[in-house]
Amino acid sequence: MSEKKIILTGDRPTGPLHLGHFVGSLQNRVKLQSTYKQFVMIADQQALTDNADNPQKIIDAIFQVLLDYLSVGIDPKQTTIFAQSGVPQISELAFYYLNLVTVARLSRNPTIKDEIRQRGFEESIPAGFLVYPVHQAADITVVNANLVPVGADQLPIIEQTNEIIRSFNRIYGPVFNEVEALIPEKCDRLMGTNGLEKMSKSLGNAIYLSDDADTVQKKVMGMYTDPNHLRASDPGKVEGNPVFVYLDVFGTDAQKIQEMKDHYTRGGLGDVVVKKYLNEVLQTFLEPIRARRKEFVGNQDYLRTLLQQGTSETRAIGEQTIKKVKTAIGLTYI
């Protein structure tokens, strides 16, 4: 088995990407693309597993996500960007993998359990939703990837991917490498603007990479802080305070941030002052992203061609993988 690093990662296109996506995995993808072979997948089929009745939402988001990728600096010359639905070998592979997993094991997957709770599915979980981690194992292995940059919430899925790989190799022979998750060093899950644990579209607490300057400012000025910090003169709490969490992640002037934290903790520093500074920091971070987006937005022909080329390149690799898999299983008579 080879030592070469191949990256596969992706996102469900259910809306535009936000700062949590950037921190969780986009920044690692931009960093790693010049060193490793990287595939970035728009997981449209996975997005449909809980949006079957609203396909237009997914279709509309595909080009938004593609624009988000290009605007943060994912470079299509170095990274192959493709659409999951254009590589049917993934679903084919998933069908073999489904036999290597139990329904009980899937129901215990913490990521899925959380998402089922969030969506209020209770007893009516779409079967496709319950099994999407198996499909995700197929996403990763269809290109023989061994490195997966993701946010910490995805770790149980990567663990399950490795279980599938081990079962497959044990039963049919050594076809696949195990894979390694790569989670960010600094902050493996960015909290929402309302102080909830996770930034997410469905929780309504996200700042999007495509938000304009006014929208970002409004969101920042409305952010949750320390609820006990009522007057500027009160001592405030920095830990778990999203305004300071974001400054730590997106700020560049560590000394100034430390001074503000000390001042806030002592008392005497008002929320508005901190928020105004955070707004500056975020606008500085987002400005080059907005500028790059402008280069691509509206160039529909270019975007479509890019996605088509990436998808056919990946499909060709998928065909090779399926050949290996069918040979290993013994399905060689047709």
The residues that touch ligand TRP, with contacts defined as CB under 6 A, are 8-12, 41, 43, 46, 136, 139-140, 148, 150, 154
How far is 58 from 64, CA to CA, in rounded Å?
A: 10
Rg of the chain (C-alpha set): 22
Residue 153 identity: D
Instruction: Report the nearest approach of ligand TRP to the CB of residue 203 (Å).
Output: 14
Provide the 8-state DSSP code for 214: H
Instruction: Report the nearest approach of ligand TRP to the CB of residue 217 (Å).
Output: 28
Provide the 8-state DSSP code for 22: I
Nearer to ligand TRP, 8 or 257 (CB): 8
How far is 213 from 157, CA to CA, in rounded Å?
A: 36
Instruction: Report the nearest approach of ligand TRP to the CB of residue 42 (Å).
Output: 9
- Which strands sit side by side in the sheet containing 180-182, from one edge to the other? 79-83, 37-42, 6-11, 147-149, 180-182
How far is 46 from 129, CA to CA, in rounded Å?
A: 8
Nearer to ligand TRP, 12 or 18 (CB): 12
Q: Name residues whose C-beta falls within 8 Å of residue 204's C-beta, 6 or more positions apart in sequence.
A: 194
How far is 52 from 54, CA to CA, in rounded Å?
A: 6
Instruction: Report the nearest approach of ligand TRP to the CB of residue 196 (Å).
Output: 17
Nearer to ligand TRP, 11 or 211 (CB): 11
Nearer to ligand TRP, 148 or 220 (CB): 148
Instruction: Of 41, 66, 47, give the one whose Cα is nearest residue 139.
Output: 41
Nearer to ligand TRP, 179 or 220 (CB): 179
Distance separating the N- and C-terminal Cα atoms of the chain: 27
Question: What per-residue string of b and e applies to 151-176 under the rule 16 or more CB within 10 Å gives b?
Answer: bebbbbbbebbbebbeebbeebeebb
Instruction: Report the nearest approach of ligand TRP to the CB of residue 135 (Å).
Output: 8
Q: Name residues whose C-beta falls within 8 Å of residue 7's C-beta, 6 or more positions apart in sequence.
A: 29, 32, 36, 37, 38, 39, 145, 147, 148, 149
Instruction: Report the nearest approach of ligand TRP to the CB of residue 142 (Å).
Output: 10
Instruction: Report the nearest approach of ligand TRP to the CB of residue 266 (Å).
Output: 40
Instruction: Report the nearest approach of ligand TRP to the CB of residue 23 (Å).
Output: 13
Task: Name the residue number minimizing CB distance to ligand TRP.
Answer: 43
Nearer to ligand TRP, 46 or 85 (CB): 46
Nearer to ligand TRP, 85 or 136 (CB): 136
Instruction: Report the nearest approach of ligand TRP to the CB of residue 148 (Å).
Output: 5
Nearer to ligand TRP, 113 or 256 (CB): 113
Nearer to ligand TRP, 148 or 257 (CB): 148
